[in-house]
Structure 1
Amino acid sequence: MIRRGGRRPLAAALTLCLAGAGAAATRATDQDRAPLPPVPAWQGRSERLVAQSGDPWITPAERTGFTATPSYAETRAYIDRLAAASPLIRVETFGRTPQGRDMIVVIATKDAAALDPAKPVLLVQAGIHPGEIDGKDAGLMLLRDIALRGGDAPLDRVNFLFVPVFNVDGHERSSPYNRPNQRGPISQGWRTTAQNINLNRDYMKADAPEMQAMLRLIDRTDPALYLDLHVSDGLDFQYDVTFGFQDAPYAHSPAANRWLEQVYRPRVDAALEAEGHVPGPLVLALDDRDPPKGLALPHFAANFSHGYGDLRHMPAVLVEDHSLKPYRRRVLGDYTLLAATLRTLADDGAALKQATIADRAARGSMTLTWRPRADPVRTVHFLPMTSERFQSAVSGGVELRWTGRPAPAADYPLYGSSPGETIVPPTAYWVSAADPDVIARLRLHGIRMETLDRPRTVAVDMVRVSGAKLAAMPVENRVPVSASGFAHERHEEEYPAGSVRV
């Protein structure tokens, strides 16, 4: 889930209070419970994917009728049983959480001990925000059907890596009240890690052990495509699955962006529509309480998964299922999207690889900062839901109530970003051996560098910062710093052995 920041609206806080005031006894069948809006009727072809009662390979979520999601231990037990039953499935531990839990990746492949480097790798992660856990249960169903039900054809041309739960510690901090504005499952995990780090703000700084493990996995497997599975919050609309990537005007990987827009999106949209789902674009609302004001799709910084993937030249897609749709429908939507992604990468992975090679070879100017743009960048054809305003006796103000009924399609203005600071990157950067943490973080990101085995004196252009100012509040365990002046100085600098040239 992507939030625009700021305080949560009072209505959301009131929802929390109302949900906690006695709903526990009814949450197993609470698809229509107040204060959530009514559930729109739906019957998709993807219903045929659900295993029947008594099936020996029914997943834990299917067994409950998609009212609950399994614990980490139950999830791991199902995956281990699947791996024991099929040579197509193997499980590896790629990290440990601060609370000592294994981080696992499930590898679906027809290759032997090592993955064939000629095949593109699809790396999918679920549970970066464990309250948004649809992708885990969809992945278990898909892995079963790949391993045991004849769904393995894409593995002839692509390898599938699946991380069922990225934030494992947060997954186990489960409660019925972690996401009360979401329609199922009964209990959801906690948003941040045991160290209170939001992993989907940690890609660039890589403070969390979980993120460091993920970056090592990315560096080792070099995914052709990276999917990050979430669930939305706030705005109601008709779509049940939305997805997107860095918008074209902001893309650091323009060739991959074109493939995502011209090849990936049409094929996945068509697959979802054929199964009865309603796919839509990844957008945010300027104001959740007044959607016609407009939508927003700004530049996403590299602390987000898809912003990081774009900057790293690793095509990345952010998926947001819609929180007000029933859990069953959301899981089936994710299954359909994942299966379509595998087929698309198997069919057209070579073209994506060439696009990525082109992006990695390109050089030129680079925009470092972006700022909100005052006027719309374009319009978006949007499928909204109806709402009504009412005088709330609880808040004392006028609040918004969603009705659960579709509204006529409309063209909404879309707001975005304008470029700020732009540079032409230098030939190289030097980092002194006196800054080992910086060098270690660069290595985590897979950045190539030359390491000095003896001291060297180098003529450098050094930038001296002036007017530095600390922010009043920390963000994600870091204190932001702004500056008012930048002065270039040219001189010789001696770098000791162990320093790096990037």
Structure 2
Amino acid sequence: MKYATLNILIFLLPVLLATTGWAQQKPQLVTPYERSGGRQTATYAEIIDYYGRLDRQFEQAKLVEIGKTDVGKPLHLFLLAADKVFTARPDRVTLLINNGIHPGEPEGIDACMMLARDLLVANKLPKNVLLAIVPVLNVDGALNRGLSRVNQNGPELYGFRGNARNLNLNRDFIKADAENTRAFQAMFQRLKPQVFVDNHTSNGADYQYVVTYFATQKDKLHPDVSGYMTRTFQPDLDRMLASAGFPTAPYVNHPKDTPESGLLGFNDSPRYSTGYAALFNCFGFTLETHMWKDYPARVKGSYAFDEAVLRLCERDARTILANKQRADAAVSRQTTFDLNYKLDRNRVDSVTFLGYEAGYKPSEVSGLQRLYYDRTRPFTKRIPYLNTFVPDLRLTRPQAYLIPQGWQEVIALLRRNGVPMQTLTRDTLMQVSAYYLDDYKTSPRPYEGHYLHTGVKVRTETVTLPFYKGDYLIPVNGPTNRYLIETLEPQAADSFFAWNFFDSILDQKEYFSDYIFEDTAAELLRTDPALRQKLAEKRAADKAFAENANAQLDFIYRQTPYFEKTFNRYPVYRLEAARP
């Protein structure tokens, strides 16, 4: 560990000192942030122009377009490779750093521009790491420049959280509504990074730290990856940052008014960037610099964080690669999967926290009591920390999934995310397990353009159904298994069903006319004693049902061959045995 700390200090000191003299030495490589004396963040045009200049000046750098965005501008990726080979390879770590998913939180944008330059000029690129930087993911929001974060201390102007469709891209990594996200997914699957960083700025409480962060939720990662991340990578990262002048704390997510009440781990489900990365055994970090620290301090903290992660990837490249390979192999063989993790409030740890004393005083606005933090009264305390999550659901994987070809939007998502698929070569009857949706709740208000389904309850029936030439057979026997389970099992919190991709199955298409069906229902009751008994039991158990004639007709209708078999039948089928 002494070597790692010394390594980053030796590297950071000349870099941080050198940046002050860039205007005299290399004026064409001074960033807009530096030129403004730390008051401004680069615009989208300035960002891409700057990386383009680095590309033209250094053979170890390459700026590429990876797709479009909802605003119509291209999405870029900046690649740095000591050997000038800009593709992922099995013998080196790929570190992916994402910036500007929320362009109003721009520290990472400016820090990465300087970090890329300094690595190239000082010839400090690691030979065993491919560094991939997304200059700004939410190009749309970056172009919508102004003031929107009233609680943030600088810069003078910055971008907006929503993209051109007013989507929060850090909720879009499963549904992929935005072109930005689709381009990111395709790029991610080409690079297959082992380590991921997403640069942000916090909201919320006041405290002494410039740098806080949360790591990929450890309990859902494969043990080879999570064990190394929690026992080696994170402790060394924290020590390196403290030595560089940036002591860290877990992301300040607290259950009551102030952090002294304790901190809660963040459950980054697959809709979030780090949760998405975790589906593919890539561990990640969401950096949250503190909103109310001055902008130069936040940029320097982002720089130190990203560079420290890079140096740890360099130091431990062999271990990181081996862990990911073992995890991918294990997931390919894995037969049961845990889903829907929830915080275990009975497992309490503690952390040392550098905060400010909080108090209450009368509000000048309302006259009522208001919270405030007293920066003249800093404290160092041990506070509770809850960061153990347990699954709420365990499922056994099928041998394969079958998806009729009509669900092209889902097929496109699976294909973009690297899922191997086969198409049936002829029409065939197959025995499959089918889910029927017995219950679910739907949010009353839209969330990121969707009315999310939760509390999904299913029953399973074995049925023989026709499938047709061109329908999709998806084996569940590879490293994309967790992605498949999390998206195709309807009970999963961020499944495609939860995000409304299959809502048309929730509409009943055929009904009965009561005045005609009355006679049919009466005849059914006369000839079917079992049905007559079911109806009697239902009436006895439910007074409202017993007083509702139409409900009783509907109850009988649902027991007849006329009731549509596809109603509420989930159209992704499980093949439980190997296909003959």
1:144 equivalent to 2:117? Answer yes
Looking at structure 2, the residues matched to 190 and 484 of structure 1 have their Cα atoms a distance apart, in angstroms, of 34
What TM-score do the two structures reach when normalised by structure 2? 0.74
Larger RCO, structure (CA 8 Å, separation 6 or more): 1
Counterpart in 1 of 2:339? 368
Q: What is the aligned counterpart of 1:164 among 128, 132, 135?
A: 135
Which letter does structure 1 place at the counterpart of 2:295?
Y
CA contact 2:80–2:86 (8 Å) conserved in 1: no
Secondary structure of the residue aligned to 1:51 is helix
1:447 equivalent to 2:415? Answer no
Q: What is the aligned counterpart of 2:364 among 393, 397, 410?
A: 393
- Mapping 1:187-198, distance limit 5 Å: 187-198=157-168
- How far residue 163 of structure 1 moved from its aligned partner, in angstroms, is 0.8
Looking at structure 2, the residues matched to 468 and 262 of structure 1 have their Cα atoms a distance apart, in angstroms, of 39
Identical amino acids, percent of aligned pairs: 29
1:501 equivalent to 2:473? Answer yes
Cα distance, 1:483–1:338 mapped onto 2, change above 3 Å: closer
CA contact 1:131–1:179 (8 Å) conserved in 2: yes
User: CA RMSD for the aligned pairs?
Assistant: 2.0
Counterpart in 1 of 2:224? 255
Q: What is the aligned counterpart of 1:208 among 175, 178, 181?
A: 178
Looking at structure 2, the residues matched to 252 and 499 of structure 1 have their Cα atoms a distance apart, in angstroms, of 32
Looking at structure 2, the residues matched to 116 and 222 of structure 1 have their Cα atoms a distance apart, in angstroms, of 7
Looking at structure 2, the residues matched to 101 and 188 of structure 1 have their Cα atoms a distance apart, in angstroms, of 18
- Mapping 1:347-496, distance limit 5 Å: 347-362=315-330, 363-375=334-346, 377-405=348-376, 407-415=378-386, 417-482=389-454, 485-496=457-468
Q: Greater shift after overlay, 405-414 or 55-64?
A: 405-414
1:180 equivalent to 2:150? Answer yes
Counterpart in 1 of 2:192? 222
1:273 equivalent to 2:242? Answer yes
Counterpart in 1 of 2:481? none
- How far residue 194 of structure 1 moved from its aligned partner, in angstroms, is 0.6
1:124 equivalent to 2:94? Answer no
Secondary structure of the residue aligned to 2:110 is helix
- How far residue 392 of structure 1 moved from its aligned partner, in angstroms, is 0.2
- Mapping 1:77-88, distance limit 5 Å: 77-88=49-60
Looking at structure 2, the residues matched to 89 and 445 of structure 1 have their Cα atoms a distance apart, in angstroms, of 26
Looking at structure 2, the residues matched to 490 and 65 of structure 1 have their Cα atoms a distance apart, in angstroms, of 68
Q: Cα deviation per residue 1:372-429 (whole Å; 9 max; x = unaligned)?
A: 5454532232221223321102033211122234632222223454432222222222
CA contact 1:466–1:483 (8 Å) conserved in 2: no
> Would you say how many aligned residue pairs link Structure 1 and Structure 2?
454
Counterpart in 1 of 2:305? 337
CA contact 1:364–1:424 (8 Å) conserved in 2: yes
Q: Cα deviation per residue 1:351-379 (whole Å; 9 max; x = unaligned)?
A: 11221122222214322223454545322
CA contact 1:458–1:495 (8 Å) conserved in 2: yes
Looking at structure 2, the residues matched to 405 and 364 of structure 1 have their Cα atoms a distance apart, in angstroms, of 56
What TM-score do the two structures reach when normalised by structure 1? 0.85
Secondary structure of the residue aligned to 1:70 is coil
Q: What is the aligned counterpart of 2:38 among 61, 66, 77?
A: 66
- How far residue 205 of structure 1 moved from its aligned partner, in angstroms, is 1.2
Looking at structure 2, the residues matched to 214 and 237 of structure 1 have their Cα atoms a distance apart, in angstroms, of 34
CA contact 1:297–1:415 (8 Å) conserved in 2: yes
Cα distance, 1:484–1:301 mapped onto 2, change above 3 Å: closer
Q: Which has the larger radius of gyration?
A: 2
Looking at structure 2, the residues matched to 49 and 500 of structure 1 have their Cα atoms a distance apart, in angstroms, of 57
Looking at structure 2, the residues matched to 116 and 444 of structure 1 have their Cα atoms a distance apart, in angstroms, of 17
- How far residue 291 of structure 1 moved from its aligned partner, in angstroms, is 2.5
Which letter does structure 1 place at the counterpart of 2:399?
T
Which letter does structure 1 place at the counterpart of 2:171?
R
Cα distance, 1:485–1:258 mapped onto 2, change above 3 Å: closer
Looking at structure 2, the residues matched to 484 and 305 of structure 1 have their Cα atoms a distance apart, in angstroms, of 24
- How far residue 166 of structure 1 moved from its aligned partner, in angstroms, is 0.5
Q: Cα deviation per residue 1:135-161 (whole Å; 9 max; x = unaligned)?
A: 111111111112223323x1x111111
Counterpart in 1 of 2:254? 285
Looking at structure 2, the residues matched to 142 and 371 of structure 1 have their Cα atoms a distance apart, in angstroms, of 37
Secondary structure of the residue aligned to 1:407 is strand
1:300 equivalent to 2:273? Answer no
Unaligned runs of 5+ in 2: 1-11, 475-580
CA contact 1:253–1:310 (8 Å) conserved in 2: no
- How far residue 197 of structure 1 moved from its aligned partner, in angstroms, is 0.8
Cα distance, 1:99–1:116 mapped onto 2, change above 3 Å: closer
- How far residue 253 of structure 1 moved from its aligned partner, in angstroms, is 2.6
Q: Greater shift after overlay, 410-419 or 313-322?
A: 410-419
Which letter does structure 2 place at the counterpart of 1:58?
V
Looking at structure 2, the residues matched to 427 and 387 of structure 1 have their Cα atoms a distance apart, in angstroms, of 56
Looking at structure 2, the residues matched to 274 and 294 of structure 1 have their Cα atoms a distance apart, in angstroms, of 25
Looking at structure 2, the residues matched to 306 and 437 of structure 1 have their Cα atoms a distance apart, in angstroms, of 23
